[in-house]
Structure 1
Amino acid sequence: MNSYIPHSDLNLVRSLRKSDHDAFEMLFKRYGQKLFMFSLSYLKEADQAEEIVQEVFLKVWTNRFSLKTGTSFQSYLFTIAFNSIKKSFNRKAKENQFRLELVDQLDDGRDCVEYENNFQLVLTKLDGFISEMPERRKEVFIRRKQHGIPVKQIAEEFGVSAKTVENQITEAMKYLKKRFEEELPGGLLFLSLFLEN
């Protein structure tokens, strides 16, 4: 491995294109920590930054045969990392959109403490009620309502008809309405959020 130490990225990438594990390890040691700190500066959480680094180098290894030797490898790495970070932000935004909308609907001028307590209570109850559903129904509901995945795509993923997916969502909504009516009538505000999607 010592023969690689003085080598440039260009030589290491050339070796990596031949599936050289040592070259891959050398590049990881050279850039892994830099990518981690770069990702951490955006994501603020170490575990998420580590996931970005792993994702970047997994992509490098997967695409090793088509790596270009005439461009900056460092720029290539950081471009992948930045795109992954943006996707992470977008994914979080979509998953949490229903919570942000719920905040707006619950904000009716009450004092901040009461508002925060009610908001957290509704979210806690919602998560609990969803967890009580049959596994398949729960998965379908979460993918459609929280992740915003189209019905057709969900149907293809589960190998069922779009009608079956719609029926599962309808049953899930009925169940949530019933549970909120039983335990937290005020929490029914959330239904309008889900029905929009």
Structure 2
Amino acid sequence: MIEERALLLLVKAGSEKAYYTLYKMWVSRLYRFVYQYLKSEDATDDIVQETFCRIWTNREKLDPDSSFKAYLFTIAYHFLIKELRRQLNNASMEEYVEYNENARISEEDAEKDIDFDQFCKALQRAKANLSPRQREIFELNKEYNLSVAEIAEHLSIKEQVVRNQLSIALKIIRTELQQYSFILLLFLYKF
């Protein structure tokens, strides 16, 4: 099978065949990633399609020496956030949230509610598992809202190093905070 870098060069040059091969390589992984947040086949299909359309329309900007996975998932992430915002602003979503709030009456359910203070303590414990550089990059990005470019400039390192360290940090944080998945989603992907 042709290597990804060569495929990216061909796609950049306008090869539809190479684009389709790249699509087949990544579509199922991207679909699973988006679906885990949306739980809707139609919405997931739309985001995956929009993501790959964006890849094709911006093919001249592809960098064969950078991580295609990071580029692909970043595009999908932005479409995902846009969809989540749309859903949160949807009247039926408001009704659903209100229904869930009203349904949580019993004492047993109240005990199961995730306390934000517990989440913050768990987040601090999870950050302790990061290397000092990973923790610094994570905090600058997620807590101080600095972009990858701003962090790279601030720390005098390359943007790709920031992306790599942030990716590793996010994997560790997500693994450590699985039980707080909804709060973590809101924390990591601020609206």
TM-score scaled by structure 2? 0.48
